[in-house]
Structure 1
Amino acid sequence: MASKTGPRGNADEPASAGAPEAGDPEAEFLTVLGQRVRTMRAVRAMSRKMLSQTSGLSERYIAQLEGGQGNVSIILLRRVALAMGVRLEDLIASVEGPPDWPVVRDLLQKAGAEQIAEAKRVLSGAAAPGEGPAQRVALIGLRGAGKSTLGRILAERMGWSFVELNREIERENGLSVAEIFAIYGQETYRRLEQGALRRLAERPGPMVLATGGGIVAEPVTFDLLLSSFFTVWLKARPEEHIHRVREQAAKGLVPARLPDTDNALRELRAVLMSREPLYARARAVIDTADHTVAETAATLTALVEGHLGNGARRGA
């Protein structure tokens, strides 16, 4: 047999599952993947036999891969990528990048922190340091952190407009956030969230923005927030988050759909632990633990006034 197999013979090569069905997203992904492998192999003037010999995979498997057939093992696909001298992520990228993307990516990998920061600023359309609107504050943190309550108080004291990002998304799309998640899923919600935030960043006038707790989950969206707003993390203990959400539910301010306390605390601690390094990228942190709303509001107002400097308290 002309082609080689893996260390365990053909057993590590999946059998073909037949021709993919039209309209099946997974089948379409396999088709695109196969086209990319075939194109990259052709660009490198590699025959299937040569790729087979270099990767240790059979020509039959490579033919199936290029034809968009069968299940694809990530380990075997990695071997194909290594054999062709390409990056695995270039084979499985969800969308095609611009022609210059490989060059840009390689330059970014060699760039320093300041160069990367400048590239992000230019690509996001954010203002240069010192040129952006100073009278813009965004509050981040977990659900129950007090973002809406404190945001309204701060906006009233400063004479600024107050915006809740989730309410803006609902207004623009005619659906509640819960309906967007249920019908379209998280990926669509994150896309709508980014679009709404970008439009708010371009809106003139001073503003206090209360964000959703998961805005840190999408890197591009979070970078846009950090570059366009003076961002403050409202920090609290998980127990306090739970207590505040339950109080809000009792007042009818949020849906009363909370799990039992023990499970809720475990889940909240896990979420907070994963998000803390991201929340910590905010320009300032206010620990609300053991403080009343009035005390925290006073701290937040003083923080923002200090950021703005003397004589900049009232919005235009």
Structure 2
Amino acid sequence: MTKLATDIVRWEDIGATDYLAELGTRVRSARAQRGMTRKALARDSGVSERYLAKLETGQGNVSVLVLRQIARAMDMTAADLIAQEAELSPKRQTLQQLSAQLAEADVVSFIDLMRAKLSVKSECAKGRRISLIGLRGAGKSTLGPRLASQLGFGFVELNAEIEKEFGASLAEIFSLAGQPSFRRYEQRCLAKIVETQDNVVIATGGSIVADDQTFSLLLERTHVVWLQAAPEEHMARVVAQGDMRPMAGSREAMADLKQILQAREPLYERAEAYCNTSGQSVEESLRDLKTRIGEMGMASAK
């Protein structure tokens, strides 16, 4: 299960109306992070689109059982949607208190010390694996194979591995088994890749950041690069590919895409490096991407 990446509001500090509005915002944000239309969530949860619309706009006084249905359809728990900020452990509270006592001149040294300590372990775990994240249309499937070829690395399309493992297309997986099953296969396939392959470029699905455990695994075991693009370019590239998943049939596809990007941006920003492909040719984007990879200390395997 995954927790919602959004600003935490303490429920006891707000009234009933604001409570419902905040809950609606969390449901809408969770849905957007997963790239799910309201229609898809209604289908997977068994809750009507009309009811979901009321809930997401703060007008629905949802029952616990219905909230559980909605959460399960997004591979979450009802508690994830209403969770308050977790309390720090006693040791972390002590660390927080001690760091607050540091003189300003010592703060930078302390941060550098912690980063150096974490970096050694992190770099060993990541090996020479590069993963590309971002919305559909950012260029992961286009730039990934080219980058791998120039570095002398292997290339893996994570969604293709999921389809092989499940024995069906992505559309069929979501239709037959739903989002939770897809997430389990996604995590299983990623774990297999990072355990068995090095010198590899991995193109991930746009919504991989929506699952805490899978995204944490990606961050811990690979060098993550966020491929960025303007919403209009994302949409133009997706249309050019003839792929409107998961917004097929939506009359507000651009608005949906912008909402998805807005919901995922705080997660995408956890990447080790960014590469903006807007307004660039494939060759220009590839050069820029190679520069970012070089700055991360990743040399060619040749």
Shared fold per TM-score greater than 0.5: yes
Range 300-309 or range 191-200, more displaced? 300-309
Residue-pair matches, total: 203
Greater relative CO (CA pairs within 8 A, separation 6+): 2
> Which residue is equivalent to 1:313?
300
The residue number in structure 1 matching 2:150 is 157
Q: Is the 8 A contact 1:134 1:308 kept in 2?
A: no
In structure 2, the CA distance between the partners of 1:93 and 1:243, relative to structure 1 (3 Å rule), is: closer
Q: Identify which of 156, 167, 171 aligns with 2:160.
A: 167
Counterpart residue number, 1:209: 202
Q: Tell me: CA distance 1:274–1:111, structure 2 relative to 1, closer, same or farther (3 Å).
A: farther
Secondary structure, counterpart of 2:241 in structure 1: helix
Q: Which residue of 1 aligns with 2:190?
A: 197
Q: TM-score, normalised by structure 1?
A: 0.57
Structure 2 vs 1, CA of residues 303 and 108 (structure 1 numbering), >3 Å: closer, same or farther?
A: same
| 1:43 corresponding residue in structure 2 | none
Partners of 2:133 and 2:161 in 1: how far apart? Answer: 16
1:227 to partner: Cα distance = 0.8
For residues 216 and 111 of structure 1, the distance between their equivalents in structure 2, rounded to whole angstroms, comes to 31
**Distance between the aligned counterparts of 1:93 and 1:108, measured in 2?**
25
Query: CA contact under 8 A between 2:226 and 2:268: conserved in structure 1?
Result: yes
Question: Which deviates more, 231-240 or 258-267?
Answer: 258-267
Would the alpha carbon gap of residues 110 and 175 (structure 1) be closer, same or farther in structure 2, given more than 3 Å must change? farther
Segments of 5+ residues of structure 1 without an aligned counterpart are 1-71, 75-91, 95-103, 119-126
Q: How far, CA to CA, are the matches of 2:249 and 2:63 in structure 1?
A: 40
3-state SS in 2 of match to 1:130: helix
Equivalent residue for 1:280? 269
| Contact in 2 for aligned 1:236/1:287 (Cα 8 Å) | yes
For 1:222-257, what per-residue CA distance to the aligned partner results, in whole angstroms no more than 9, with x for missing partners?
Answer: 1110111110001111110110011111xxxx4688
Q: CA deviation at 1:130?
A: 3.3
User: Is the 1:246–1:256 contact (alpha carbons within 8 Å) kept by the matching residues of 2?
Assistant: no
Which region of structure 1 is more displaced relative to structure 2, 265-274 or 299-308? Answer: 299-308
Contact 1:216 1:222 in 2 (8 A): yes
Post-superposition shift, 1:172? 1.4
* Cα deviations by residue, 1:177-196 (Å, 9 ceiling, x for unpaired): 11111011001111111111
Root mean square deviation of aligned Cα: 3.2
> Aligned letter for 1:170?
E
Q: Percent identity?
A: 41
Find the residue that maps to 2:252 and give its secondary structure.
helix
Give the direction of change, closer, same or farther, for the CA distance of 1:108–1:259 in structure 2 (3 Å limit).
Answer: farther
Matching of residue 188 in structure 1 with residue 181 in structure 2: yes
Q: CA deviation at 1:262?
A: 6.3
Q: Contact (CA 8 Å) 1:160, 1:207: kept in 2 or not? A: yes
Do 2:126 and 2:223's aligned partners in 1 also have CA atoms closer than 8 Å?
no
1:308: how far off? Answer: 2.4
Q: Which structure has the bigger radius of gyration?
A: 1
Change (3 A) 1:293 1:111: farther
2:218 & 2:287 partners in 1: Cα distance?
24
Mapped to 1, the partners of 2:91 and 2:208 lie a distance apart of 25
The DSSP-based 3-state class of the residue aligned with 1:212 is coil
**Structure 1 segments of 4+ aligned residues over 6 angstroms from their partners:** none
Match of 1:304 among 293, 296, 299: 293
CA distance in 2, matches of 1:278, 1:264: 22
**In 2 relative to 1, CA 130–142 (structure 1 residues): closer, same or farther, beyond 3 Å?**
closer
Does 2:283 correspond to 1:294? yes
Unaligned stretches of 5+ in structure 2?
1-61, 65-77, 81-86, 97-109, 115-119
TM-score, with length taken from structure 2: 0.60
Among 139, 146, 150, which residue is 2:139 paired with? 146
**Which SS does the other structure have where 1:163 is aligned?**
strand
Contact 2:224 2:271 in 1 (8 A): yes
Answer whether contact 1:144 1:244 (CA < 8 A) is retained. Answer: yes
Q: Encode CA deviations 1:278-297: one digit per residue, 9 max, x unaligned.
A: 00000011111111111000
SS of the residue 2:202 aligns to: strand
Distance 2:150 2:182 in 1: 32
Work out the CA distance in 1 between the residues paired with 2:90 and 2:184. 27
CA displacement at 1:205 relative to structure 2? 2.5
Which amino acid in structure 1 is aligned with residue 301 of structure 2? Answer: R
Amino acid at match of 1:197: L
